[in-house]
Amino acid sequence: MADSLHTTAVLAEPGPIAVYWGTTALIIIDMQRDFMEPGGFGETLGNDVSQLARAVAPIAAVLKAARETGMMVVHTREGHLPDLSDAPPAKIARGAPSLRIGDPGPMGRILIRGEAGHDIIPTLYPVEGEIVIDKPGKGAFYATTLGADLKARDIDTLLVCGVTTEVCVNTTVREANDRGYRCIVISDGCASYFPEFHEMGLKMIKAQGGIFGWVADSSAILDAITRSETTLSENTLETSNKLAAGASR
C-alpha cells in the first residue's frame, strides 16, 4: 500500500521534490467523453480532440501504478444539474451560440450530469473505491467535497493531470496551492486543444521557483514510485536476513 512506500525524490522542474506516497493523491481532471471523443462537445466547437488524446496513455500508466500501490485516486467531471441551477448565467452564455451548456448535443445534453457525454472515457474509468468529484466550476475545490476528502486521508501532495492544461488543470492547481497542497503537474498527462496554451500553462506553474507547483513527466513519476518500492523490498529483505541470522544463533 502507498503508506508503506518510502519517500523518494521526483525529478521535476524547477527542481526535485521529495514525495511521501502515503500522503499523496492522484487527481485526474475532466477526462470526459464530451471533451475527449470525436463527435463530442469539444469537437463541435471546432477543436481538434486528437490534441487531448495524447494525454491518455501517460495518465493510464500513472493510474495503473497508483492503483497497484494503493494511492488515493480522484477523478473530476465538469458538469451541472439538469435544471442548471448550479451554472451561473455568464457560463451558460459562453460557447457557440448554437450549442450551449444544457443544449442537446451528440452525446446528450451538453455538460449535464448523468448524460453520456458527461461521463469519463472508458480507458480511465473509475474503479470501486476511487472518488469521483462532480464540479460545477473550472477548479476541483469550488463547491465540491474535494477539500474534505483530502483532509480525511491526510493528503499533502497532489499529482495533477487531465484537461485542459490552461483551464481546469491550472485552476485546480492554483486552488490547491492556496490551500497549502504541494502540486506536481504531470506534463505529458495534460493537454490542450491549443498546444501553445499547454506549454504556457506549464510554464506558469513552475515559474519563479515553482510559484504554483512542480512539473514532471509521467516517466519521472513512475521512476520515483518504482524506486520507492525497490527501497521497501530491499529493507524488507535486510530485516528478514537479520531476523534469520538472529534465530540461527
Q: Residue 220, SS3?
A: helix
**What is the tens place of the pLDDT at every residue in 63-78?**
999 999 999 999 999 9
Q: Say what the pLDDT of residue 127 is.
A: 99
Q: From CA 112, how far away is CA 178, in angstroms rounded?
A: 29
Q: Can you read off the three cell numbers belonging to residue 65?
A: 501504478
Q: How far apart are CA 76 and CA 31, in angstroms?
A: 8
Residue given cell 504556457 in the structure block: 200
Whole-number pLDDT of residue 102: 93
C-alpha cell at 182: 504541494
Mean pLDDT, range 134-138, rounded to an integer: 97
Lowest-confidence region among 31-45, 96-110, 133-147: 96-110
Burial 41-75 (b: 16+ CB within 10 A, else e): bbbbeebebebbeebbebbbbbbebbeebebbbbb
Given this model, what pLDDT does residue 185 score? 99
18 and 9 Cβ atoms separated by less than 8 Å: yes
- How does pLDDT run across 1-42, given as a tens digit for each residue? 677 678 999 999 999 999 999 999 999 999 999 999 998 999
Instruction: Look at residue 248 and tell me whether its pLDDT is greater than 70.
Output: no
Beta strands of the chain (E only): which ranges? 8-10, 17-19, 24-29, 72-78, 104-105, 108-109, 131-135, 157-163, 182-191, 214-216
Cβ proximity of 130 and 124 under 8 Å = no
Residues 156-199 pLDDT 10s: 999 999 999 999 999 999 999 999 999 999 999 999 999 999 99
**What is the pLDDT at residue 91?**
85
pLDDT class for 92, splitting at 50, 70, 90? confident
CB-based contacts of 189, cutoff 8 Å, min separation 6: 55, 58, 59, 62, 161, 162, 218
The mean pLDDT of 194-217, rounded to a whole number, is: 99
Mean pLDDT of 197-220: 99
Domains defined for the chain, CATH in brackets: 28-242 (3.40.50.850)
* pLDDT above 70 for 240: no
- Mode of pairing for the β-strands spanning 8-10 and 17-19: antiparallel
Alpha-carbon separation of residue 32 from 120, 200, 205 (angstroms) = 4, 23, 23
For the chain, the average pLDDT equals: 92
Residue 89: what pLDDT? 86
pLDDT digits (tens, 9 = 90+) for 146-159: 999 999 999 999 99
How many Å apart are CA 23 and CA 43, to the nearest integer? Answer: 37
Mind telling me the catalytic residues?
Answer: 30, 135, 168
Cα separation values, 63 from 5, 111, 112, 120, 189, Å: 16, 24, 26, 14, 10
